[in-house]
Amino acid sequence: MRAFNAEMSKLFSLPSIWLACFIGAFAPAIFAGLDSLAEKEDIIAGVSTRLAEVGYVGLGFGVQGVIILGVLAVSSEYFIESSESGGGRQITTSLSAVPSRLHFLLAKAGAVTAISLLLCIMAIVTIVLSTKLILGEYAPTFEWFRLFGAVCYWVFTALIAFGLTVLTKNSIIPLTILMINSSVVSFSILLAKVTTLAVYLPDRAGIDMFMSMSDRYHTPLTGGLVMFTWVVVLMIVAAVVFHRRDVAS
């Protein structure tokens, strides 16, 4: 518990973490609001085919906040400190305080999970308020099981970002890949044109937990299990690599 509290404290001491929190908590409401405005006339007229998705779109795009969170949680350990501080890295100090590398990773992953959970709940609240403000009585009814799926999607995505950063010891690669994949173009959608196996990629399977798309392949439960499997495998690989790695390298 002491290690977990220490990791929470370290995360909230990072200036960039507040940007991640802002994006995670409020960007989804902006996307949901814009989507509500675009669909408002059709919804009021009763001809919209996307009423059930209004709001959930924001949860799909707003996941960038927890991606930044997952990457920062690890990459911040490898920042080189100023010469006044000895020019070392935080990771050396962290492992001196928590000698067990597995315990260290679990505490850090726990902190990422807790903050991701909190951010998603805040995002859901702001989305509900945003859609109610714009659509009024025509606002969609948010179903608890889909919201739960969105929460899982956010937490799993944050842990995937976390695991990839442990493997790369670098923020640029996982941040670039995951941010582009979640906002600009989905690599799994492109790969799906080549092979149906692409529907088992984590982002594609995970989105089925809360979005009812026309090309939906998985049930929410199956999509969640597929994404969870990816998370477990990636975290195991990351833990093994981190255990064997020379921190100074």
Judge whether 249 lies within some domain: no
Judge whether 107 lies within some domain: yes
**Which phi and psi angles does 57 have, rounded to 5°?**
-60, -40
Judge whether 27 lies within some domain: yes
pLDDT band at 249; cut points 50, 70, 90: low
Nearest 5°: the CA angle 5, 7, 13 is 105
Judge whether 66 lies within some domain: yes
CA–CA separation, 193 vs 141, rounded Å? 33
2-46 pLDDT per residue, tens: 889 989 999 998 888 999 999 999 999 999 999 889 888 888 888
The total domain count for the chain is: 1
pLDDT score of 214? 61
Judge whether 91 lies within some domain: yes
pLDDT band at 88; cut points 50, 70, 90: low
Distance of CA 207 to CAs 116, 125, 168, 203, 204, Å?
16, 20, 25, 6, 6
pLDDT score of 122? 95
CA–CA separation, 131 vs 56, rounded Å? 10
**Which phi and psi angles does 80 have, rounded to 5°?**
-80, 125
145-166 pLDDT per residue, tens: 999 999 999 999 999 999 999 9
Structural domain boundaries enclosing 106: 2-244
CA-wise closest residue to 52 among 30, 75, 35, 77: 35
Judge whether 111 lies within some domain: yes
CA-wise closest residue to 151 among 180, 182, 185, 122: 122
Under a CB-based contact definition with an 8 Å cutoff, are residues 229 and 201 in contact?
A: no
CA-wise closest residue to 24 among 159, 144, 117, 108: 117
CA-wise closest residue to 131 among 204, 210, 211, 43: 43
* Percent over 70 (pLDDT), the chain: 93
